[in-house]
Structure formats: C-alpha cells, structure tokens
C-alpha cells in the first residue's frame, strides 16, 4: 500500500518550482491558477524572492502547496499517474494537510490557495510579534518533551503559568514546542535537566499549533464554513488524531483543531504503517521522508521535486 505525503512550512526556498515550470506547461498551469486565486504574482516571489517575502507565512503556505500540486499535476498530466489508482491514503504536515486534501480533490487548487493565504494571515495576526516563539528539541522523545514543556510553563519568579506545549511530534528524535517566548526560552535553558541533547529556537514569526492561536482557529472555522471541504477521493490521515478521515464535516472540525493542536506526525507515520502502508511518496519536498524513516524504519520513502525525479517515480509506479 502507498501513501502520498505533503510537506509543511520551512520547506520553502527561493527558486522553488522554477525548473519544473520551465519544463512543463502543466506545472505552469498550477502556478497561474494560484496567482489568479490570490490576485498576486506568487510564482514570481517563489522564483525570485526576496527570501524574506517568500518566508512570510501568508506567502510560504500557498507557495509550498503550489509547488507540491505542480509536481502532482505533472505526474498526472504528462505521465498518466492517478492518485486514486496508485495510493491508498494522503497526509500532510500542518499546512501540508491542506495540500493533501487538495490532492485528494476535497478542495480545488484555487480554494486551497485562498484558504492557506488566510490561514497564514490569521496565524500571524493571532499573536503580536515577539510575544510567542517556538523551539525544536533535538534528541527528545515525546515523553521528555512533554515533561520539559510542563516545567517551562511556570515562571519561577512569579509562579505564573504561561503557554508552553508540544506543537509538532515529528519523529522519535525531534519534537517542537510552542508558546510564550519567555517559556520557550526557559525550555531551551532546561533541556539538559531532561536529558535532551539540544533546544534550538526556530526562526518563525508566530507560535503555531498552541492555544495562543485561538483567534486563528476561529478565523479558519469561518473560512471553512464558507468554503467547505468535499469528500476526498482518498482518506487523509489527520494531524490532530493520526487517524484516517474522509467525512467532510469531520475534516472541517479537525482542520480547525489543527490550528491550536499538536501535529502528530510520528504517530501518523506509524499509524499508516499499521494499516498496511509500506511506501511513502513525498511530493514537493524532501523534509518528511527522513522523519518517516525514523518513525517507521521499514518504510520505503521516495521524495519527488524535480522533473527527473517525477520521471523516475512514474516508471516505478
């Protein structure tokens, strides 16, 4: 069995999609659809930058989706590869869950672009810059990370509780915390007390996947009511449950919960393995493959970005 998976924020880089667009009209078509939907030349920002503009959450999220969907469109249009015929499940990391749903035709490319633009804006607006932060814990399993987060949430000077929680359970060696900046700094300072190798503050502009994102969750609830998901052609493994879902109302609810909830990527990789998935194909990035292998060592993982890699995958499928 095979699952197609889609990367999340952080996988963007200037130049993304440029070679594919030059090689394929199908890829260019996706970028044009996204440009039209957003009323901006996102493809130019993807191709030329500047990096700080591409990295803005409201640009990075639709850009990463567009890049992955361009790869999928080329696979389908030029090599006759059908997701429904070649896969059993889809999944994506954070914003990648929207890409997965787009790939499974629960949303159109245009609607996905608009939803992700709004999601990026709402997440940025939810917390003033500097109030929140995130950090990656290297050499940490989920139990150590959860205990550290609980300890760091308390300000020792005042005894006041701040937000510090697990945002991403990526694999058995990497967990990301999110919350108030002071609490995240405390967590980084305390890593050795919890036998964690290292804590690294992440270069993000907002504390994603924690309760501070409440206003963004409300905004996405309204947006998804106005643009409801359809029935996907393949079930999606949801971030917040690490379980497959295909019911549109449930998909809506879980996408809202995902804004403030934990991305259970490690559990999702293991869960897909438990239902029989042996092959994972990452489209549009090379980030999730290594995480999946660390969580599920017996998995076969293929990451596909370039035209050469698309051609090789098409032959393999």
Catalytically active residues are: 94, 209
Output the CA–CA distances (angstroms, integers) from residue 251 to 192, 245, 257, 258, 262, in the order listed: 39, 7, 10, 10, 16
**H or E element, residue 131:** none
Crossing angle between the packed helical segments 57-79 and 307-316, to the nearest 10 degrees: 50
Closest to 137 measured CA to CA, from 125, 154, 151, 126: 151
Cα–Cα distance, 259 to 250 (Å, whole number): 15
Cβ 57 vs Cβ 51: under 8 Å: no
Q: How many CB atoms lie within 10 A of CB 166?
A: 24
Over its C-alpha atoms, the chain yields an Rg (Å, rounded) of 19
Residue with tokens 């990301």: 176
Peptide bond into 50 cis (omega under 30): yes
Cα–Cα distance, 285 to 217 (Å, whole number): 26
CA dihedral 241, 243, 247, 253 (to 10 degrees): 10
């Amino acid at each position: 069995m095979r699952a197609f998976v889609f990367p999340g924020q952080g996988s963007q880089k200037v130049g993304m999609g440029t070679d594919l667009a030059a090689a394929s009209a199908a890829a260019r078509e996706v970028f044009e659809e996204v440009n039209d939907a957003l009323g901006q030349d996102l493809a130019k920002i993807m191709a030329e930058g500047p990096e700080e503009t591409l990295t803005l959450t409201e640009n990075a999220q639709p850009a990463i989706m567009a890049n992955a969907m361009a790869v999928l469109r080329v696979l389908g249009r030029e090599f006759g590869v059908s997701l429904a015929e070649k896969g059993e499940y889809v999944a994506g990391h954070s914003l990648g869950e929207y890409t997965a749903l787009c790939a499974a035709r629960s949303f159109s490319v245009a609607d996905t672009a608009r939803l992700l633009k709004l999601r990026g804006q709402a997440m940025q607006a939810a917390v003033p810059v500097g109030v929140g932060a995130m950090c990656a814990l290297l050499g940490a399993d989920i139990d150590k990370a959860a205990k550290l987060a609980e300890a760091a949430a308390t300000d020792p000077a005042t005894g006041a509780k701040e937000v510090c929680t697990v945002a991403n359970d990526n694999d058995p060696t990497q967990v990301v915390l999110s919350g108030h900046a002071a609490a995240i700094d405390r967590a980084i300072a305390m890593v050795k007390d919890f036998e964690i190798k290292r804590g690294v503050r992440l270069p993000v502009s907002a504390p994603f996947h924690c309760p501070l994102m409440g206003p963004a969750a409300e905004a996405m609830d309204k947006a998804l009511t106005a643009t409801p998901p359809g029935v996907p052609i393949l079930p999606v493994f949801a971030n917040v449950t690490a379980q497959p879902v295909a019911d549109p109302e449930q998909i809506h609810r879980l996408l809202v919960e995902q804004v403030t909830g934990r991305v259970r990527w490690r559990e999702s990789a293991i869960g897909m393995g438990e239902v029989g998935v042996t092959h994972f194909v990452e489209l549009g990035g090379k980030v999730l493959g290594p995480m999946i292998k660390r969580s599920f060592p017996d998995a076969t993982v293929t990451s596909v970005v370039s035209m050469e890699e698309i051609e090789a995958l098409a032959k393999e499928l």
